[in-house]
């Protein structure tokens, strides 16, 4: 079938935009699960899914920034756990709630800064550095609690993750509102500011930035720190939702977070990706997880499915680059 | 005055390979320092050190008296760098690359959270590119799609978006066409006049001689020599660059070469044959070695004689000019004045009462002869020493001379003078005047021309092109300059000798439409531009 020229151009532009591809995927999965199950297309299920992927998405915003500058952060899962734990411990020691939240987020920022400094200033490979800090962070989480979870968190703190804001007939979970707010802010940072432009340029033209007098080391340190801060925000929200801070929390989440970024169109070679794409990528991932459960598959298959998805999207990215 | 930049014993080694060894240099505000050296001499490595991109193995760099911690961000200190090959951000467009690291936008307080103001940046970029005489179809085109020359021009524009204290230029001319090379040279002069210091390296020695104040020569990573450009000779610099210490040996060769590139090539070849010869010598018997030694001595003696001859000829010409000046003054101040006073006395006699009509007519005839004599003497004086050249300069002297010549010979002359000719050193002005004089005399004697066009134009700030074109019969087939003296024709030979003694280049060729074109390119030292020309 031959379309008129302008239509073909629009079609090509739409196909060319990764966000459109992922959004289509969201629609297809939704349609499929709505037809196959009775429980998928209910407000409470959709609200639960969005709440569940909100902290993954928030961490993935940071992760995608790191990947765009040509790096990788494997410590995100452990940072989520430690940040939640630090907030919980602060609350246990009688700190006011805002202070406890800030302490948790600052912890994440600190780990991110260490990552960024090692990668930017000392020029160590990010994979090795973040593998090390992953281990250290998780170890501290275990060490601080002796392996036991911290319970009995105050109601005010738990409300951060559990409270639903009623807007008309809808009830929007608070973490989702945080996610949308942070998506807007990071999206603005990446698409409108000079820093965003440097971040996109860094992977392919680091030397050009260097000779132009841009402090590349500082940018790397800042991006990893921002990733730490965002991940820790996700971790605190997750802890508030669960009402318990366990050192084993968010185990293996680094895979989910990297998957959300990659499915959302962030190229592992750096230089490409968008916050909207990452948001949709996180949605696809959570829908897959929930969908597999609703369809009656064992939870063990989830990881395999996720891994396959990551590979498929990396392949897609590879083909697109080649063409 | 304190130096703006000071490098002390700077060294850089890659593995076991020393790229820069113990180089020390100082650059003062408003000074242009040239860096000469063959490829692989360590120029680019030195530039990377001065640009703060390499950490030196040894030595220190001071900027405005402060010791710099390497690596440093040069642009933050007010140092701009133009590299041999431009480093551009491929995914960004022309404007963004020009403003990379210096974006204009809002809010002003935060450099990174700034939202770039594209319209202002585009406008400013267009203004700077217009200064460079370069045009892009769109400023929003990604730089990946541009030619090497366009990319280099973007890198140059980047160095121009804000005033710098020091601009380091690492031979970007390799990627630039001739007109943009000249543009860059005039930019360097403009920067210098604004008080900006410039370190400039180029493989083209003419570029260095045209704009620099000092030239530092590097060889194999070491600082070999430093010259004041106005006092340095091309052959000296080349000798330092290629490593031949015997100047006498190099001089006659350099003399014959019309460009640095050929000089370098020849010197390299010489060095190689010298090496081969030395290697050969080691295996040869003593007798042969002695023979070669004697031969070398003779060549050296010949070279000395040659150099001495050139010196003598230069002296001779100077003395000749002095003598002519003296003679012209004698004739003008003594003989002509005496003749005029005789004329005056005759006039008194003529009006006296004792004079008969016959004697009066005789006296009037004598007085007429004296007037013709005075006119002839004045003409001879003018030829001996153009009267206007000392007071009004070359331009006025040429105008006056060509006007007289045209009236005398009936051949029409067009004179095209450079608007910025200014005053040149006396010897050079006189030589140029003599070249034109000889050229015109040649036209009158041999060319059978009806018009002559004389041009005097700068091809670079320190190079002057003299051209004399006529519409006559041109050079005969099989013309050979060296046979002229045997036939007693010294005009063209005189021109060629004068040009050679000024270290210039001469070209004689028949024009397509008939007639001879004489072109002489002469270098001259920097001179103050006089307002009146």
Work out the mean pLDDT of chain B and round it to a whole number: 84
Q: Mind listing the pLDDT tens digit for each residue in A239-286?
A: 999 999 999 999 989 988 999 999 999 998 899 999 999 999 999 988
Q: A71-80, B11-20, B311-320: which range is least confident on average? A: B311-320
Q: Please list, residue by residue across A112-143, b when 16 or more beta carbons sit within 10 angstroms of its beta carbon and e when fewer do.
A: bbbbbbbbbeeeeebeebbebbbeebbebbee
pLDDT of residue B257: 40
Whether the predicted pLDDT of B274 surpasses 60: yes
Query: Is residue A28 assigned to a domain?
Result: no
Nearest neighbour of A204 by CB, restricted to B74, B90, B105: B90
The average pLDDT across A111-130 equals 95
Query: Is residue A297 assigned to a domain?
Result: no
Using a CB–CB cutoff of 8 Å, tell me whether A122 touches chain B. Answer: no
- Among A93, A89, A76, smallest CA distance to A137 is for A76
Q: If you write DSSP's letter for every residue of B290-351 in order, what string do you get?
A: HHHHHHHHHHHHHHHHHHHHHHHHHHHHHHHHHHHHHHHHHIIIIIIHHHHHHHHHHHHHHH
The average pLDDT across B233-245 equals 76
With an 8 Å Cβ cutoff, are B116 and A204 in contact? no
DSSP state of B485: G
Query: Is residue A25 assigned to a domain?
Result: no
The average pLDDT across B180-205 equals 91
Contacts of B111 in chain A (CB under 8 A): 194
Whether the predicted pLDDT of A67 surpasses 50: yes
Using a CB–CB cutoff of 8 Å, tell me whether A213 touches chain B. Answer: yes
With an 8 Å Cβ cutoff, are B112 and A195 in contact? yes
Query: From the CA of B55, how many Å to the nearest CA of chain A?
Result: 14
Whether the predicted pLDDT of B401 surpasses 50: yes
pLDDT of residue B259: 53
With an 8 Å Cβ cutoff, are B92 and A197 in contact? yes
pLDDT of residue B12: 93
Q: CB–CB of A239/A87 below 8 Å?
A: yes
With an 8 Å Cβ cutoff, are A208 and B74 in contact? no
Q: CB–CB of B61/B10 below 8 Å?
A: yes
Contacts of B76 in chain A (CB under 8 A): 213
With an 8 Å Cβ cutoff, are A193 and B115 in contact? yes
Query: From the CA of A284, how many Å to the nearest CA of chain B?
Result: 29
ipTM of the complex as predicted: 0.87
Q: Is A238 helix (H, G, I), strand (E, B) or coil?
A: helix
Q: A9-18, A127-136, A225-234, B313-322: which range is least confident on average? A: A9-18
Alpha-carbon span A271 to A197, nearest angstrom:
10
Alpha-carbon span B122 to B293, nearest angstrom:
69
pLDDT of residue A199: 96
With an 8 Å Cβ cutoff, are A209 and B89 in contact? yes
pLDDT of residue B258: 43
Whether the predicted pLDDT of B101 surpasses 70: yes
pLDDT of residue A248: 92
With an 8 Å Cβ cutoff, are B113 and A197 in contact? no
Query: Is residue A197 assigned to a domain?
Result: yes
pLDDT of residue B383: 78
The average pLDDT across A313-320 equals 83
Q: Is B228 helix (H, G, I), strand (E, B) or coil?
A: strand
pLDDT of residue B262: 53
Q: CB–CB of B97/B141 below 8 Å?
A: no
Higher per-residue pLDDT: A207 or A45: A207
Query: Is residue A320 assigned to a domain?
Result: no
Going by pLDDT thresholds of 50, 70 and 90, the confidence category of residue A235 is very high
With an 8 Å Cβ cutoff, are B87 and A189 in contact? no
Using a CB–CB cutoff of 8 Å, tell me whether A209 touches chain B. Answer: yes
Query: Is residue A27 assigned to a domain?
Result: no
Going by pLDDT thresholds of 50, 70 and 90, the confidence category of residue B344 is confident
Query: Is residue A322 assigned to a domain?
Result: no
With an 8 Å Cβ cutoff, are A193 and B90 in contact? no
Higher per-residue pLDDT: A68 or B267: A68
Query: From the CA of B70, how many Å to the nearest CA of chain A?
Result: 13
Nearest neighbour of B112 by CB, restricted to A194, A200, A211: A194
Proportion of chain B above pLDDT 70, given as a percent: 92
Q: Mind listing the pLDDT tens digit for each residue in B411-441?
A: 999 999 888 777 888 888 888 888 998 899 8
Contacts of B53 in chain A (CB under 8 A): 210-211
Whether the predicted pLDDT of B525 surpasses 90: no
Contacts of B166 in chain A (CB under 8 A): none
Number of domains in chain A: 1
pLDDT of residue B526: 67
pLDDT of residue B256: 42
Q: A200-214, A216-230, B167-181, B518-532: which range is least confident on average? A: B518-532
Number of residue pairs across A and B with CB atoms under 8 Å?
Answer: 70
Contacts of A201 in chain B (CB under 8 A): 89, 91-92, 100
Using a CB–CB cutoff of 8 Å, tell me whether A215 touches chain B. Answer: yes
Alpha-carbon span A67 to A200, nearest angstrom:
10
- The radius of gyration of chain B's CA atoms, rounded to the nearest angstrom, is 31
Name every residue in B having a CB less than 8 A away from some CB of A: 51, 53, 73-76, 81, 83, 87-92, 96-97, 100-103, 105, 111-116, 158
Instruction: Choose the mutation target among A190, A202, A203, A213 for the interface with B, i.e. most B CBs under 10 Å.
Output: A213
**Chain B residue at shortest CA distance from A192:** B115
Going by pLDDT thresholds of 50, 70 and 90, the confidence category of residue B461 is confident
- Among B170, B209, B214, B225, smallest CA distance to B49 is for B170
With an 8 Å Cβ cutoff, are B91 and A195 in contact? no
With an 8 Å Cβ cutoff, are A204 and B91 in contact? yes
Contacts of B92 in chain A (CB under 8 A): 197, 201, 205
Going by pLDDT thresholds of 50, 70 and 90, the confidence category of residue B387 is confident
Going by pLDDT thresholds of 50, 70 and 90, the confidence category of residue A83 is very high
Going by pLDDT thresholds of 50, 70 and 90, the confidence category of residue B269 is low
Alpha-carbon span A113 to B161, nearest angstrom:
34
pLDDT of residue A13: 66
Give kind and range of the element (H or E) at residue A128: helix A126-145
Higher per-residue pLDDT: B399 or A60: A60
pLDDT of residue B335: 86
Going by pLDDT thresholds of 50, 70 and 90, the confidence category of residue B467 is very high
With an 8 Å Cβ cutoff, are B111 and A201 in contact? no
Query: Is residue A23 assigned to a domain?
Result: no
Whether the predicted pLDDT of A190 surpasses 60: yes
Whether the predicted pLDDT of B532 surpasses 50: no
Nearest neighbour of A205 by CB, restricted to B81, B90, B116: B90
By residue range, what is the domain housing residue A84? 37-252
The average pLDDT across B38-58 equals 90
Q: B82-86, B124-128, B241-245, B418-422: which range is least confident on average? A: B241-245
DSSP state of A85: H
Contacts of A199 in chain B (CB under 8 A): none
The average pLDDT across B144-168 equals 92
């Amino acid at each position: 079938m031959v379309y008129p020229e302008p239509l073909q151009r629009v079609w090509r532009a739409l196909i060319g935009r990764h966000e459109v591809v992922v959004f289509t995927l969201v629609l297809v999965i939704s349609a499929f699960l709505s037809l196959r199950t009775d429980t998928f297309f209910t407000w409470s299920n959709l609200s639960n899914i969005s709440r569940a992927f909100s902290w993954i998405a928030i961490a993935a915003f940071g992760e995608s920034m790191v990947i765009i500058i040509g790096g990788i952060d494997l410590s995100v899962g452990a940072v989520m756990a430690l940040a939640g734990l630090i907030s919980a411990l602060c609350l246990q020691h009688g700190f006011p709630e805002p202070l406890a939240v800030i302490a948790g987020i600052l912890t994440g920022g600190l780990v991110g800064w260490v990552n960024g400094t090692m990668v930017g200033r000392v020029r160590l490979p990010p994979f090795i550095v973040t593998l090390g800090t992953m281990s250290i962070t998780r170890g501290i989480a275990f060490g601080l609690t002796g392996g036991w979870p911290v319970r009995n968190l105050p109601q005010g703190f738990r409300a951060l993750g559990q409270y639903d804001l009623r807007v008309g007939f809808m009830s929007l979970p608070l973490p989702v509102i945080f996610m949308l707010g942070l998506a807007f802010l990071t999206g603005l940072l990446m698409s409108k500011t000079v820093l965003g432009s440097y971040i996109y340029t860094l992977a392919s033209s680091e030397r050009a930035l260097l000779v132009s007098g841009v402090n590349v080391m500082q940018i790397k340190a800042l991006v990893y720190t921002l990733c730490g801060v965002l991940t820790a925000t996700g971790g605190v929200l997750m802890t508030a939702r669960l009402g318990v801070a366990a050192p084993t929390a968010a185990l293996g989440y680094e895979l989910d977070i990297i998957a959300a970024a990659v499915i959302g169109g962030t190229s592992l070679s750096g230089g490409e990706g968008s916050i909207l794409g990452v948001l949709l990528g996180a949605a696809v991932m959570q829908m897959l997880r929930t969908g597999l459960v609703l369809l009656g598959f064992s939870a063990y298959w989830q990881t395999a499915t996720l891994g396959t998805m990551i590979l498929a999207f990396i392949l897609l990215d590879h083909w697109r680059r080649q063409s | 005055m304190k130096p703006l930049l000071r490098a002390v014993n700077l060294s850089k080694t890659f593995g076991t390979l020393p790229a820069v060894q113990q180089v020390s240099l100082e650059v003062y505000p408003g000074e242009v320092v040239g860096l000469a050296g063959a490829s692989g001499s360590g120029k680019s490595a030195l530039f990377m050190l001065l640009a703060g991109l390499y950490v030196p193995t040894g030595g220190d760099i001071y900027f405005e008296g402060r010791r710099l911690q390497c690596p440093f961000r040069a642009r933050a200190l007010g140092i701009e760098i133009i590299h041999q090959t431009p480093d551009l951000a491929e995914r960004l467009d022309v404007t963004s690359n020009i403003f990379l690291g210096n974006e204009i936008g809002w809010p002003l307080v935060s450099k990174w959270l700034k939202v770039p103001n594209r319209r202002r940046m585009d406008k400013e970029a267009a203004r700077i590119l217009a200064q460079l005489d370069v045009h892009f179809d769109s400023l929003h085109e990604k730089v990946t799609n541009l030619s090497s020359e366009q990319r280099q021009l973007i890198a140059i524009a980047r160095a121009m978006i804000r005033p710098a204290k020091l601009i380091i230029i690492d031979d970007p001319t390799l990627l630039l066409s001739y007109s943009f090379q000249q543009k860059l040279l005039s930019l360097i002069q403009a920067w210098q006049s604004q008080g900006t210091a410039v370190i400039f390296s180029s493989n083209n020695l003419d570029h260095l001689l045209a704009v620099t104040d000092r030239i530092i020569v590097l060889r194999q990573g070491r600082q070999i020599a430093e010259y004041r450009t106005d006092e340095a000779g091309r052959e000296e610099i080349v000798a330092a660059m290629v490593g031949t210490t015997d100047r006498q040996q190099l001089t006659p060769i350099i003399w014959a070469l019309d460009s640095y590139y050929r000089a370098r090539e020849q010197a390299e070849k010489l060095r190689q044959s010298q090496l081969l010869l030395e290697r050969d010598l080691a295996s040869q018997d003593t007798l042969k070695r002695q023979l070669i030694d004697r031969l070398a001595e003779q060549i050296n003696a010949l070279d000395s004689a040659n150099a001495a001859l050139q010196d003598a000829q230069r002296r001779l010409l100077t003395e000749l000019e002095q003598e002519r000046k003296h003679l012209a003054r004698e004739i003008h101040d003594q003989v002509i004045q005496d003749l005029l006073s005789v004329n005056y006395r005759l006039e008194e006699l003529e009006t006296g009462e004792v004079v008969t009509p016959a004697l009066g007519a005789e006296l009037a005839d004598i007085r007429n002869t004296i007037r013709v004599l005075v006119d002839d003497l004045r003409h001879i004086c003018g030829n001996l020493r153009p009267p206007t050249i000392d007071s009004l300069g070359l331009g006025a002297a040429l105008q006056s001379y060509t006007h007289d010549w045209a009236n005398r010979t009936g051949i029409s002359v067009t004179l095209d003078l450079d608007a910025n000719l200014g005053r040149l050193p006396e010897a050079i002005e006189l030589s140029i005047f003599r070249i034109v004089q000889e050229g015109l005399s040649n036209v009158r004697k041999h060319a059978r021309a009806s018009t002559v066009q004389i041009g005097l134009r700068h091809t670079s700030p320190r190079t002057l092109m003299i051209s004399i074109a006529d519409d006559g019969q041109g050079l005969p087939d099989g013309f050979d300059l060296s046979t002229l003296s045997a036939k007693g024709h010294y005009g063209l030979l005189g021109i060629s000798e004068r040009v050679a003694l000024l270290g210039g280049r001469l070209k004689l060729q028949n024009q397509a439409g008939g007639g001879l074109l004489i072109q002489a390119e002469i270098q001259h030292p920097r001179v103050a531009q006089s307002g009146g020309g």
